[in-house]
Structure 1
Amino acid sequence: MPQARPVPLPTTVWTATGVNPITRVVRALAPFTDGDAPVLVTVCDLTAEGDPAATDRPTTAEPGGLVVVDLDDGGLDHDSARAAAARTTPGGLLAVLTRCTHHSGPAGLTLTDPTGAVVAAVRAAGLAYLQHIVILAEALTPAPDPDRDGDGDGGPGAAGSEVRVGVGRTELLVFRRPPTGSDPAPTAPTAPTAPTRVTHRVAARVAARSWRAGDGRGESVAAGGPRVWCTSQQNARTQRVGRYVPESVRHPARMMPALAAHAVAEFTAPGDLVADPLCGIGTTLVEAVRAGRRALGVEYEAAWAELAQTNLDLAHTDGHRTATDSWVLRGDARRLGDWLDPRWHGAASLVLLSPPYGSTTHGQVEKTPTGLVKTDGRYTDTPRTPGAANLAHASRNRLVAGFTDVLRGAALLLRPGGHVVIVVRPWRERGELVDLPAMVADSAADAGLVLTDRAVALLARVTDEGRLVARPSFFQNWHVARNRDRGLPTHLIAHEDVLVARLDHTADHTADHHTADPAGDAGRRGPERVVAGGAVRR
């Protein structure tokens, strides 16, 4: 008798074509709540007393096992967050829907992203942050583009085509109120859909307010609306074949080549300079050079700097001449302003980078006679110490402070009109999501940058029918399955956030804003240029 195929785990990117996103939220989350507790839906604002303001949806005063709060394109202050938490039963879920908005002002077109403030307010109210999900109002359809990078080799450009979704992107933030007393593992859901009674009650609440796909709430026509980058139509290994040396797989957190290729094509022209101050094995540099751009990379660890140069040498061997006008510097990116040659100041059209984050997202899994073994999960073999210069070994606060310094150096590199593009995603610690995208957005602001856009770079393949096929790591798949068995509605991370920023022309960039503590200065390094064969030249 054939075995039934396992049901795919849900991902962090949803489509709700022609469907009220609240209905989709309730269907997905209600099975993880107490079936005897009501589902409450409200369009905030919540008053300081904790009662929902007058809305077109009826509500009750009793606490809910699932409370869905639609902020439209607004935020949530601490009083409202406490009110929403009070309306959630112990062990229940709070789902907050919000949207980013674009505005024109003295600094030009900028993005207001309320998600970080909402997460901070709800966590301050005592709830645990479980998941961030992007809901799109239009189906995904991959646009064929067999050679986006234009180099004729059919490289990662074939996986780097873009889906423009012009309307209806909603951010869903899911929280859980701790159970009273100790926190035992919740009872696992027993049915794939919500109980009929709950579904009917929710239908009565949401029917009064229609939501039409295409209303464009929270989006700017001038900015082109939210965007989805299809950067995983091919897996990472396929994207690198013949373009990177095999040893490149040892790096624990490599950027997808198609993502780098897309950013280069989107924000630069042939001959422009593309920089990455945390370049690792040089993915940004290689994709820039193969697209006819020049590249500048900075890397602290000697092993990765040598691999980056080797990958650039391979591009040169393949006939990409701008590789000879591209550099890999070994140094500390937190102090670019102290040692970077002034000729690079104001020279880059694009600075593309990604911070180091959670070890659960890193590494390779190998099957051995004694079981599964995780390898290549570390940036360096140097022990973690309070003064460690590698940000991958820093505490969370030091990571944010150090990354802010890196972004100040990125601002120094930018030419007028240039962009900083940051690829980032959250990670999970002890079951709770760490909101690294919000921390990075705050770092960008502290570094004198203003956000202009937030896109989605898929870590999943889009089929011709518009379905997402996730490419999770072994450990991510295992953790999500285990959490869902315990009754926690976690999802496979199927996207990375792409934060687009530029210089804030209304701010003063003349002061020295270096903030990292002196204990870390001992390990700081000035520049060394990496050349062929792994040698360095000062």
Structure 2
Amino acid sequence: MPKNVVCPASVWATGQRSPRQHIADRLVGATRSETALTPAIAGWIIETYTDPGAIVCDPNPGPGLVLAEAVRAGRHALALATQPRWESALEANLDLARLAGSAGHATLLDSIDDPRAADLPGAVDLMLTGLRHTPTSEPSRVLVGLYEDLTAVADWVWPGGHIVITCRPWRRRGRLLDLPGKIHDAAEAVGLVPADHCIALTAPMHGHQLRPRHISRTGHRPESTDLHGQPTAHPTHIDVLIFRAPTTAPDPNTTTTEVA
């Protein structure tokens, strides 16, 4: 059953340790290219929205950061097959989580048609995924991929259960994209109900001040400059969009929002 959640604060202090340091302590090095989530943020979300023994699903697991954190937290991780380039990192991260003495386990489905998926509708307590992108990614393709992932597994979540999607700020050709707004549109098109929008910090707080970390060798990256080629501040947060699975079946006559 979905956990009865006390509404969390809107800003989460999840950046006291750098993502690189946190990954070095619990995940393989290849996970450093995972940009949509950090171990601290994934762990915060899992602890906030589920109880031990719950099922946590990531339909697009990448190097398995969400799955490993779910297993470490004593939850049962579930995912569709990852891309071939991530397979070895995913297996290694799960091995590290198991070696840590975790009580959870992981199930990797071959596809949406895997026979083991037959009993999943209504069985998942939390769906958690991060929207990955690179400076050369095409926004429309990334968002269509998210829509397809949500369409495939949204009905696996308990009615009223939580679907959480994270993304880091995306600057393309010098302009900051409204990625949270586009994610909101994709989720609503699948029938999900908006519940909250939180900010998870990736930089530490000292007193009441946020201290951005120095990031070296970013001056020539497209995401580090504005329209005029001037350096921009490195992002200090990840957006966390929280939705609920509908408690009633969607009306087939309802017009859905086009994802673009």
TM-score, normalised via structure 2 length: 0.83
- Residue aligning to 1:191: none
CA pair 481-411 structure 1, distance change in 2 beyond 3 A: closer
- Residue aligning to 2:241: 499
- The structural deviation recorded for 1:303 is 3.0
1:259 aligns with 2:41: yes
CA distance in 2, matches of 1:492, 1:314: 31
Cα displacement string for residues 323-362 of structure 1 (whole angstroms, at most 9, x for unaligned residues):
3xx123354xxxx3787621222211111001222327xx
CA contact (8 A) 1:234 1:461 kept: yes
CA contact (8 A) 2:131 2:146 kept: yes
- Residue aligning to 1:444: 187
Aligned amino acid, residue 197 of structure 2:
R
Aligned amino acid, residue 353 of structure 1:
T
- The structural deviation recorded for 1:396 is 2.8
1:310 aligns with 2:63: no
- The structural deviation recorded for 1:319 is 1.2
- Residue aligning to 1:275: 57
- The structural deviation recorded for 1:504 is 2.5
CA distance in 2, matches of 1:230, 1:477: 27
Cα displacement string for residues 339-388 of structure 1 (whole angstroms, at most 9, x for unaligned residues):
7621222211111001222327xxxxxxxxxxxxxxxxxxxxxxxxxxxx
CA distance in 2, matches of 1:259, 1:272: 18
Q: How does 1:365-404 map to 2 (within 5 A)?
A: 395-404=138-147
- Residue aligning to 1:290: 72
Q: Of residues 119, 122, 133 in structure 2, which corresponds to 1:357?
A: 133
CA distance in 2, matches of 1:405, 1:338: 17
CA distance in 2, matches of 1:304, 1:489: 32
Aligned amino acid, residue 134 of structure 2:
G
Aligned amino acid, residue 356 of structure 1:
R
Cα displacement string for residues 183-240 of structure 1 (whole angstroms, at most 9, x for unaligned residues):
xxxxxxxxxxxxxxxxxxxxxxxxxxxxxxxxxxxxxxx9858511111100112212
CA contact (8 A) 1:305 1:328 kept: no
Taking only aligned residues, the RMSD between alpha carbons, in angstroms, comes to: 3.2
Cα displacement string for residues 422-471 of structure 1 (whole angstroms, at most 9, x for unaligned residues):
001331122111211111100000011011001001121101x2211113
Q: Of residues 411, 417, 424 in structure 1, which corresponds to 2:167?
A: 424
Q: How does 1:3-402 map to 2 (within 5 A)?
A: 224=7, 227-249=10-32, 251-253=33-35, 255-323=37-105, 326-331=106-111, 336=112, 341-359=117-135, 395-402=138-145
Q: Of residues 468, 472, 488 in structure 1, which corresponds to 2:210?
A: 468
Aligned amino acid, residue 129 of structure 2:
L
- The structural deviation recorded for 1:311 is 1.1
CA distance in 1, matches of 2:229, 2:140: 31
- Residue aligning to 1:127: none
Aligned amino acid, residue 322 of structure 1:
G
SS at match of 1:311: helix
Cα displacement string for residues 396-434 of structure 1 (whole angstroms, at most 9, x for unaligned residues):
333322311211223122023310000013311221112
CA contact (8 A) 2:36 2:168 kept: no
CA pair 349-322 structure 1, distance change in 2 beyond 3 A: same
1:459 aligns with 2:235: no
Cα displacement string for residues 243-277 of structure 1 (whole angstroms, at most 9, x for unaligned residues):
2123433x353620000000000000000000101
Cα displacement string for residues 276-329 of structure 1 (whole angstroms, at most 9, x for unaligned residues):
011111111111111111101224312313321221112112211323xx1233
CA distance in 1, matches of 2:171, 2:211: 22
CA distance in 2, matches of 1:225, 1:318: 28
Cα displacement string for residues 486-523 of structure 1 (whole angstroms, at most 9, x for unaligned residues):
59795432111100001233552789x9x99xxxxxxx
CA distance in 1, matches of 2:225, 2:88: 39
SS at match of 2:165: strand
Bigger Cα Rg: 1
CA pair 270-477 structure 1, distance change in 2 beyond 3 A: farther
CA distance in 1, matches of 2:121, 2:34: 30
CA pair 315-509 structure 1, distance change in 2 beyond 3 A: farther
CA distance in 1, matches of 2:204, 2:114: 43
CA contact (8 A) 1:347 1:414 kept: yes
CA pair 297-475 structure 1, distance change in 2 beyond 3 A: farther
Alignment length (residue pairs): 251
Gaps of at least 5 residues in structure 1 are: 1-221, 361-391, 517-538
CA distance in 2, matches of 1:339, 1:403: 23
CA distance in 1, matches of 2:193, 2:178: 19
Gaps of at least 5 residues in structure 2 are: none
